[in-house]
């Protein structure tokens, strides 16, 4: 578990749409962060089908990204990642809030995501923004010892509207 880094300053970040030119750097952060990472092709497919894909940069350094699909009044946060050395500084919160705001502005009513029960830092972040558990997907994630369940979380986006 990564210790909280609340004493570290929140850096000046730039959030922007992900582009094809970003995919190698996005994939590098993905591989550094996960034992079973998405391939560059999966990210390319997400761009191709029009998912909401954002990157976070500090200067010219890509430090995080998020991917969200929307449809039928729902948003699904498919991937949200911040480089390990930059975690605990509010970057993931800022990125997630932007994705949720975009979904709410588009009239989406509910946002969903899956998270590993072992990812306590992510669960704390999601709960602090109002996500609540609505289910479990058995054996959802690949894991070193076989499979790991996913905790399914939901957020009512009506609360984000003015």
pLDDT at 76: 98
Beta strand spans in the chain (E): 14-17, 52-58, 61-71, 74-82, 110-115, 132-143, 146-156
**What would the CATH number be for the domain defined by 14-160?**
3.40.630.30
pLDDT at 6: 52
DSSP at 161: -
Q: Are 72 and 111 in contact (CB under 8 A)?
A: no
Mean pLDDT of the chain: 91
pLDDT at 10: 59
pLDDT at 138: 93
The pair of three-digit structure tokens given for residue 162, joined into one six-digit string: 């003015």
CA 113 to centroid of chain Cα atoms: 9
Q: What is the mean pLDDT of residues 130-145?
A: 91
Predicted confidence band at 4 (pLDDT cuts at 50, 70, 90)?
Answer: very low
Per-residue pLDDT tens for 74-104?
Answer: 999 999 999 999 998 999 999 999 999 999 9
Its pTM stands at 0.89
């Amino acid at each position: 578990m990564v210790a909280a880094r609340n004493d570290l300053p929140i850096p000046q970040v730039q959030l922007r749409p992900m582009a094809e030119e970003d995919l190698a750097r996005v994939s590098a952060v993905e591989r550094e962060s996960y034992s079973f990472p998405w391939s560059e092709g999966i990210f390319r497919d997400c761009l191709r089908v029009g998912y909401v894909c954002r990157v976070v940069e500090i200067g010219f350094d890509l430090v995080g990204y998020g991917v969200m699909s929307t449809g039928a009044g729902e948003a699904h946060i498919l991937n949200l990642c911040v480089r390990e050395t930059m975690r605990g500084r509010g970057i993931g919160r800022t990125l997630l809030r932007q994705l949720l705001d975009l979904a709410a502005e588009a009239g989406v009513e509910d946002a969903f995501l899956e998270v590993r029960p072992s990812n306590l830092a992510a669960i704390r972040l999601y709960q602090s923004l109002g996500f609540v558990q609505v289910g479990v997907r058995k054996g959802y994630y690949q894991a070193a010892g076989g499979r790991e369940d996913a905790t399914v979380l939901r957020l009512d986006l009506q609360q984000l509207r003015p």
